[in-house]
């Protein structure tokens, strides 16, 4: 346990968020607690992690989560490790919430020159059925920008994803590559626009569409002779300088 890699979680502490400053010392080695010498507050080293207040060894919890991530059936894990099904589900949910919080903090607070984004959706299995997951990736860095879930593959699902991409994007030239689902075009055109101030005038506000936004679609068709792939530009042109 190295306290120098930790920082004080007290929101009112002047040293909050500062590491390697020498203000964190070991308070109890047995209980794995540290103390901040600035504000005097003690805290568990697992505070702010998925292991906070868990009695099970962290390596065991991580092993279970890795198996779940790779599609191992829940009942198989319950049988192999002897845990209650509700316990495993609670770990799973806690891990998902932690990953979402980290993603929102690390990625969601940034403004990025995305340049080229690919978006797609897949059907995923859930207990008692299935649902649709839409995902987007920044091609240049392979950074996952966000995702959305819905029981239906419709405009609401794609619009939620498009809004996440829009929240991260700088107003720069951008190429959006999607599949043949018509909802993508409408959702991205809605998302990548800015509301013009009303200046006290009544009526519906006007929107200014972002310039240099290109949308391309890859359309796949299964024919008797095989798979036919068609690429088309639905917004912008091939001469457009996106980079």
DSSP string, 93-149: HHHHHHHHHHHHHHTTT--B---EEEEEEEEEEETTEEEEEEEEEETTTTEEEEEEE
Is the confidence at residue 28, as pLDDT, over 90? no
Does 241 score more than 60 pLDDT?
no
Query: The dihedral of CA 233, 235, 239, 243: what is its sign?
Result: negative
Task: Check whether residue 155 and residue 206 sit in a common domain.
Answer: yes
Q: Are residues 136 and 219 in the same domain?
A: yes
Asked if residue 60 and residue 37 are part of one domain, the reply reads no
Domain end among 106, 134, 149: 106
Q: Is the pLDDT of residue 38 over 60?
A: yes
What is the distance between the alpha carbons of residues 17 and 11, in angstroms, rounded to a whole number?
9
Of the residues 47, 64, 83, the one at which a domain ends: 47
More confident residue, 149 or 3: 149
| 19/32 Cα distance (integer angstroms) | 18
Query: Is pLDDT above 60 for 13?
Result: yes
Distance between first and last Cα of the chain: 47
pTM recorded for the entire structure: 0.73
Task: Give the residue numbers spanning the domain of 66.
Answer: 55-106
Residue 211 lies in a domain: yes
Residue with tokens 């800015």: 194
In DSSP terms, 159 is beta-bridged to none
The reply to whether 74 and 129 lie within a common domain is: no
Tally the domains of the chain. Answer: 3
Q: Which of 95, 96, 91, 59 has its CA nearest to residue 78? A: 91
Q: Is residue 240 part of a domain?
A: no
- My answer on whether 83 and 40 are in the same domain is no
In terms of domains, do 139 and 166 share one?
A: yes
73-89 average pLDDT score: 94
145 in a domain, yes or no?
yes
pLDDT, position 240: 63
Same domain, 60 and 95: yes
- What CATH number does residue 230 fall under? 3.30.420
Residue 43 sits in the same domain as residue 59 = no
Q: Is residue 200 over pLDDT 80?
A: no
Q: How far apart are CA 36 and CA 11, in angstroms?
A: 12
- Is the pLDDT assigned to residue 189 strictly greater than 80? yes
Task: Give yes or no: residues 125 and 194 share one domain.
Answer: yes
In a domain, 111, yes or no: no
| Shared-domain flag, residues 127 and 220 | yes
């Amino acid at each position: 346990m190295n306290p120098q890699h930790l920082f004080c979680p007290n929101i009112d502490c002047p040293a909050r968020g500062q590491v390697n400053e020498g203000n964190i010392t070991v308070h109890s080695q047995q209980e794995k607690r540290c103390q901040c010498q600035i504000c005097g507050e003690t805290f568990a080293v697992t505070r702010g992690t998925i292991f906070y207040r868990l009695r099970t060894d962290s390596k065991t919890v991580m092993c279970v989560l890795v198996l779940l991530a790779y599609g191992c059936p829940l009942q198989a894990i319950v049988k192999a490790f002897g845990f209650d099904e509700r316990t495993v589900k609670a770990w799973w949910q806690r891990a998902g919430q932690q990953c979402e919080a980290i993603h929102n903090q690390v990625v969601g607070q940034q403004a990025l020159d995305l340049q080229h984004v690919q978006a797609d959706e897949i059907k995923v299995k859930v207990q008692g059925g299935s649902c649709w997951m839409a995902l987007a990736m920044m091609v240049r860095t392979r950074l996952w920008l966000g995702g959305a879930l819905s029981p239906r593959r419709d405009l609401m699902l794609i619009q939620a994803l498009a809004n996440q991409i829009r929240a991260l994007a700088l107003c720069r030239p951008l190429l959006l590559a999607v599949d043949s689902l018509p909802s993508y075009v409408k959702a991205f055109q809605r998302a990548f626009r800015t509301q013009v101030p009303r200046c006290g005038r009544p009526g519906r506000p006007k929107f200014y569409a972002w310039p240099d936004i290109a949308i391309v679609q890859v359309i796949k068709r299964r024919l008797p002779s095989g798979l036919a792939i068609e690429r088309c530009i639905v917004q912008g042109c091939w001469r457009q300088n996106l980079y």
